[in-house]
Amino acid sequence: MSRLPSFKGVIAATLTPSKGYVDRIPAYYDFLRTAGVKGFFILGTWGEGPRHGAEHRMRVAEKAVESTTSSELAIVHVGSSDMDTVRTLLRHANEIGASAAAVIAPYYYRPDTETLLRYYRVLAESSEIPLLVYNIPSKQGYSISSNTLTAVLEEVGNVWGVKDSSGDPATGVALVRKFRGRKFVAIGADELITFAFTIGANGVVSGIASVFPEMVVGLQRALEQGEMNRALELQHLINEASNLLSSIGVEYETQRSVLRIRGVDIGPPPDPVRTLREDELTRLKEGVAGILERLVY
Amino acid sequence: MSRLPSFKGVIAATLTPSKGYVDRIPAYYDFLRTAGVKGFFILGTWGEGPRHGAEHRMRVAEKAVESTTSSELAIVHVGSSDMDTVRTLLRHANEIGASAAAVIAPYYYRPDTETLLRYYRVLAESSEIPLLVYNIPSKQGYSISSNTLTAVLEEVGNVWGVKDSSGDPATGVALVRKFRGRKFVAIGADELITFAFTIGANGVVSGIASVFPEMVVGLQRALEQGEMNRALELQHLINEASNLLSSIGVEYETQRSVLRIRGVDIGPPPDPVRTLREDELTRLKEGVAGILERLVY
Amino acid sequence: MSRLPSFKGVIAATLTPSKGYVDRIPAYYDFLRTAGVKGFFILGTWGEGPRHGAEHRMRVAEKAVESTTSSELAIVHVGSSDMDTVRTLLRHANEIGASAAAVIAPYYYRPDTETLLRYYRVLAESSEIPLLVYNIPSKQGYSISSNTLTAVLEEVGNVWGVKDSSGDPATGVALVRKFRGRKFVAIGADELITFAFTIGANGVVSGIASVFPEMVVGLQRALEQGEMNRALELQHLINEASNLLSSIGVEYETQRSVLRIRGVDIGPPPDPVRTLREDELTRLKEGVAGILERLVY
Amino acid sequence: MSRLPSFKGVIAATLTPSKGYVDRIPAYYDFLRTAGVKGFFILGTWGEGPRHGAEHRMRVAEKAVESTTSSELAIVHVGSSDMDTVRTLLRHANEIGASAAAVIAPYYYRPDTETLLRYYRVLAESSEIPLLVYNIPSKQGYSISSNTLTAVLEEVGNVWGVKDSSGDPATGVALVRKFRGRKFVAIGADELITFAFTIGANGVVSGIASVFPEMVVGLQRALEQGEMNRALELQHLINEASNLLSSIGVEYETQRSVLRIRGVDIGPPPDPVRTLREDELTRLKEGVAGILERLVY
């Protein structure tokens, strides 16, 4: 955990292979690592954790953690709508030596503040590895105020940080200002990567970095070197990549298809998600080519 | 299944006891039955299915089905965000002889139309008991058009009907018009109970009926007898009961507390949901008393 | 005003001719009247009141009121985002002998309850003709609770009723139950026409009735005669007509085009609204023909 | 217009005095100017333009433009839901020598892309002074894609820029990247001020700057001097000020009350907006004092 507070960098919200394709993870992670990715967010939203059963999630988590080095972050997301599954996965994340366990706020049902605090307290108490609070209103179905997030981080022991995917810049500012140097604060919204690094967040958990890692790492470097023009160009390219991915195909087989186009095959979609049609693949290939071309410049 | 298409009546979206309290189900169901409830929707949204692990869901489903008679509907909801759990629960619902298995459309992730059709097809093919499509946009995170719902009901074998909790009256009209006499169409929105029976739906799946069953059954009877004034009064009371429940406490411990106030104790909330505070209980008691008083008139 | 409380029927949310075409109103109103329309809602949302300047609104209102008979309702909508314009138009509606003046709740800015009450009080005090509160959250930008609506109707003198376009069935029930026989309650949501007449509202203010009046009047009659199958068929057709209108062209030139297709030409769109393209007109004609065909059956 | 493209700085979204209090403007503008404000956005959303009649808007615009110097921006917002009023106000803004005329995209009704382009083209052609496109989805009732915004800026002559109040960082990036050095791009979202200056926008149109100008100007300066800690502190204070203003009282009398507390009295609210209650004023005073205290530090 000592490496956590001082972490600075890009964490990829890695995609997940389906059953039978877990052995594709090491090559995939090498692809990300080569591009400069320093952290791996495993089985989150882009990683389709909530779509997979506990058994497969554990196999994926094992292989993923195994595929990281001690200087990298390997954060395993263990959230679920049911508490028994969360407990099972959290225990397992401890056993396999994950850097931390991320837990989405309860989804499907809406907790009040006290229930939310109890939720994280109960989990934190049963874990040796630290917890990362994962706030993503679009999936939870409700917002959490920055005051409530702050209370969770302050009052619950063994919570070392937060991944905020609210898309709300004010929440990011409140968290960084309050916890800088004390807790890990990551922004999980691709359109706010420039903002995240500017205000001094520890990093970003980026979906785009799972398929175009060089773009997000490049943006971080451009900002470090004060090349604002290049940063603006890259942030715009990231935004366009987001639009491309959401305008073709189906979650998250489109993303897997981008990896395939780029030479990294992590296997077919999980049942019952369909594969992309020929015309969709053609458009996607053109879109990816256009993005990679502009990336070089 | 023969009893299904001709069913007319009130289905309660029954609440669920926590672990260790499953034996409270028979008495609870007697309370509902005495009030005129003819069907039991088990482990749905009000029944906190998505909050419980598969093990507890199976224990609850067993006891619940066991607690119904052959002339009643015992619909077990088996939906989850992960497909493995859905399969496990669907198999179990078949084994215990549920009347049907309800399956919420995929939540957390958004399927396109083809993936949605594949989803229900894969499940329907592995089930002897018929499926009920459960559409609840507020929990799924996306809407399904009535055209797509119609396609699922038409094209997937072994789907005998739909519970529509969209709250959209146009969807209800489209479904009843298209499928009357051929498929089971239930409306799952308490503010639309009068509407549902008026347009000729097979029934309602009602949350309010799980705690105030006499109100919803009374509304159905008033409509059958053409007592529109009484129907209006009861629909209004149902709407006020909904407001009461959503303005105090926390989901769905407030609902369990109403049952307790009414003399039916199905046990404490599941971890980590908090219990109600004294002041909340006082307000809830007053609210419940006020409603029951007006119910008599 | 004596005719108001006992009114039962269909009020068309009439379309508005552009400048220079006001003389088209009498023929248009005849078209509606022939189909059984008994009330005219003038310059509301479908009537593009907020799009036109005060001068044109007054010319339209004059001609429209003049084109109605004493046994019909001629309700002039005088709402605007600016209070000076509302006052001017309200004075004018009084001068021309409108049955009542409808006033949308303040839009663009959000009033609190006290400001909302003051708003209607100030206006009601300066008017001889009665006011109709017009609640349409999708345009106002905020919801008004049924308690607040009730307070406005109870506490402000000279308010004779409400047009509720919230689309919320619970609000309709609360209003009808509270004010039946005392205030005029109209529902302004085309997908709730069956519901409105079932619960005993005074009537509906219907957009679809402005272009397909026979459909809405036919639905009312089917309900009066207890022909529920025919009512369901017509409600469904109304819903499909709504979908057709919102899927082609641009607000509210598409609606004007339907009238033109049906032989009633109220003139071109107001600047800067575009006309429909050829391909759009073709699709619209087909859609209208399909609807009229099914209307006969 | 020559001063426009190179402008860099803080534009206050100035508040508006009610009828009879227009002579309060010079002192108010001096207050803003002293704090470092370089531009004045007159009669926009915070300036309650859409709430006031054309007559008062013209009196305010005259006095406001008169109260600015030739090195400052005096942008008059002339938007309305009705086209006649927009034309009248645009002509007047030309007559009084405003730097530019801002025009909100049509509100209440939703234009399609072609109608939107026609809208700005018609207006731009009738104006000598340049137009500023004002995009504020929360008030318009619909979003405009950054591609459509780009088309308006590219294709319509005499449009010199845009004020984007979408709150969407991706739109800001797209606009700055595309138009830097060619068009004026201002961000109109207080939680994105740090972001706006970081990516190189020309400036911000800030509501908070209309009551706490030193905070926003201070943030700009901190960023220029690379004092990121101070910038973060100020951005957070701005966000807290926003929360304070939206949690007490009523739009925009709360804002006027803050000015009054700070010694700048621009008069009472316009009819029918209520004044603040004593307890609200007490809380507001405490909130303002707390903010000003932290501002000094």
Task: Give the span between the Cα atoms of C102 and C130, in whole angstroms.
Answer: 9
Annotated active-site residue in D28, D163, D183, D254: D163
Residue C157 C-beta-side C-alpha neighbours within 13 Å: 5
Region A71-91: mean pLDDT is 97
Q: What is the pLDDT of residue C4?
A: 55
Helix (H, G, I), strand (E, B) or coil at D147: helix
Cα–Cα distances (Å) from D114 to A36, C33, D156, in that order, read 45, 35, 12
DSSP tag of D158: T
Task: Look at D80 and C81 and tell me if their CB atoms are within 8 Å.
Answer: yes
**What positions of C carry a catalytic annotation?**
45, 108, 134, 163
pLDDT of residue D127: 98
For position B43, what pLDDT does the model report?
98
Query: What's chain A's average pLDDT?
Result: 96
C-beta neighbour count of C55 within 10 angstroms: 12
pLDDT in tens, B215-258: 999 999 999 999 999 999 999 999 999 999 999 999 999 999 99
**What are the strands, taking DSSP E only, across chain D?**
9-13, 39-42, 73-77, 100-104, 131-135, 159-164, 184-187, 203-206
Q: What residues contact residue D225 under an 8 Å CB cut-off, 6+ apart?
A: none
Which tokens go with A243?
A: 């639009």
Decide the pairing of beta strands A203-206 and A9-13.
Answer: parallel
Percent of chain D residues past pLDDT 90, beyond the cut? 97
Q: Do C82 and D251 touch (CB under 8 A)?
A: no
Residues of A designated as active site? 45, 108, 134, 163
Cβ-Cβ contacts under 8 Å, D200 against chain A: 228, 232
State how far residue A78 is from chain B, nearest Cα, in angstroms.
13
User: In this structure, are residues D109 and C50 in contact, taking their beta carbons and an 8 Å threshold?
Assistant: yes
Q: In this model, does residue D93 exceed pLDDT 60?
A: yes
How many Cβ atoms sit within 10 Å of the Cβ of residue D37?
Answer: 24
Which pLDDT score is estimated for C6?
77
Which token pair is D247? 């949690």
Q: What is the pLDDT of residues D231-278, one digit of tens each?
A: 999 999 999 999 999 999 999 999 999 999 999 999 999 999 999 999
pLDDT of residue C2: 46
Band the pLDDT of B296: cuts 50, 70, 90. confident
Interface predicted TM-score (ipTM) over 0.90: yes
Nearest to B199 among C176, C232, C242 (CB): C232
Whether residue B2 is predicted with pLDDT greater than 50 in this model: the reply is no
pLDDT tens per residue, range D140-183? 999 999 999 999 999 999 999 999 999 999 999 999 999 999 99
Q: Which residue of D has its CA nearest to A190?
A: D170
Contact criterion met (CB < 8 Å) for A170 and D176: no
CB-closest option in A84, A121, A272 to B122: A272
Å between C170 CA and nearest CA of chain D = 24
Q: How far apart are CA D69 and CA D101, in angstroms?
A: 17
From residue C205, give the alpha-carbon distance in Å to each of A124, B284, C90: 57, 38, 20
Query: Across the strands, what pairs with D203?
Result: D9, D186
CA atoms within 13 Å, Cβ hemisphere of C271: 13
- Whether B187 contacts B181, CB under 8 Å: no
Looking at beta carbons, which residues of chain D come within 8 Å of C84? 52-56
Taking the CB of residue D158, how many other CB atoms lie within 10 A of it?
A: 17
Nearest to C200 by CA among C182, C215, C214: C182
Residue count (chain C) = 297
Distance (Å, whole) CA C53 – CA C36: 31
CB contact (8 A) between residue D191 and residue A173: yes
Residue B246 touches chain C, beta carbons under 8 Å = no
Rounded Cα distance between A60 and A50, Å, is 13
Residue of B169, B198, B242 with shortest CB distance to C191: B169
- Classify residue B20 as exposed, middle or buried by CB count within 10 Å of its CB (0-12, 13-18, 19+): exposed
Q: Name which of C76, C83, C138 is nearest C106 in CA terms.
A: C83
Give the pLDDT of residue D6.
77
Q: Classify the C-alpha dihedral B59-B60-B65-B66 as positive or negative.
A: positive
Q: Among all chains, which residue has been given the structure tokens 């049911």?
A: A82
Is residue D108 part of the annotated active site? The answer reads yes
**Residue D297 pLDDT class (50, 70, 90 cuts):** low
Q: Is C68 on the interface with B (CB under 8 A)?
A: no
CATH 3.40.720.10 fits D4-227, yes or no: no
Q: What is the pLDDT of residues A86-134, one digit of tens each?
A: 999 999 999 999 999 999 999 999 999 999 999 999 999 999 999 999 9
D264: CB partners within 8 A, 6+ apart = D27, D28, D31
What's the Cα-to-Cα distance from D94 to each of B126, D6, D44, D123, D153, rounded to whole Å? 73, 22, 17, 12, 20
| B121-163 residue pLDDT tens | 999 999 999 999 999 999 999 999 999 999 999 999 999 999 9
**pLDDT at residue D1 above 80?**
no
Q: Do C162 and C186 touch, CB atoms closer than 8 A?
A: yes
Give DSSP secondary structure letters for B109-132. Answer: S---HHHHHHHHHHHHHT-SSPEE
The answer to whether residue D228 neighbours chain A at the CB level (below 8 Å) is yes
Nearest CB neighbour to C83, from listed D45, D115, D271: D271
Locate the chain C residue with the closest alpha carbon to D274.
Answer: C115
The secondary structure of residue D192, as a DSSP letter, is: G
Question: How many helices, marked H, and strands, marked E, lie in chain B?
Answer: 12, 8
Task: Kindly report the nearest CA distance between residue B172 and chain C, in angstroms.
Answer: 10
A178-208 tens-digit pLDDT: 999 999 999 999 999 999 999 999 999 999 9
Q: Closest Cα partner for D262 from D43, D36, D47, D28?
A: D28
- D83/C53 Cβ within 8 A: yes
The 10s digit of each residue's pLDDT in B92-116 is 999 999 999 999 999 999 999 999 9
What's phi and psi for B42, nearest 5 deg? -110, 130
**Minimal Cβ distance to C110: which of D50, D121, D251:** D251
D200-240 per-position pLDDT tens digit: 999 999 999 999 999 999 999 999 999 999 999 999 999 99
Contact C213, C35 (CB under 8 A): yes
A288 residue type, one letter: V
DSSP string, C143-180: ---HHHHHHHHHHSTTEEEEEE-S--HHHHHHHHHHHT
Which runs of E-coded beta strand occur in chain C?
9-13, 39-42, 73-77, 100-104, 131-135, 159-164, 184-187, 203-206
Instruction: Return the percentage of chain B with pLDDT > 70, whole number.
Output: 98
Question: CA angle at residue D144 from D149 to B139, to 5 degrees?
Answer: 150
Please give the biggest Cα pair distance in chain B: 52
In this structure, what is the dihedral angle of CA atoms D78, D83, D85, D87, given to the nearest 10 degrees? 70
Question: For chain C, which residues score pLDDT lower than 70?
Answer: 1-5, 297
Instruction: Clarify whether D163 is annotated catalytic.
Output: yes
Question: How far is it, in rounded angstroms, from Cα C234 to Cα C209?
Answer: 12
pLDDT in tens, B194-227: 999 999 999 999 999 999 999 999 999 999 999 9
Q: Nearest CA to CA, how far is B297 from chain C (Å)? A: 15
Give the span between the Cα atoms of C280 and C250, in whole angstroms. 10
Length of chain A: 297
Say what the pLDDT of residue C1 is. 45
Query: On the CB side of D90, how many CA atoms lie within 13 Å of its CA?
Result: 23
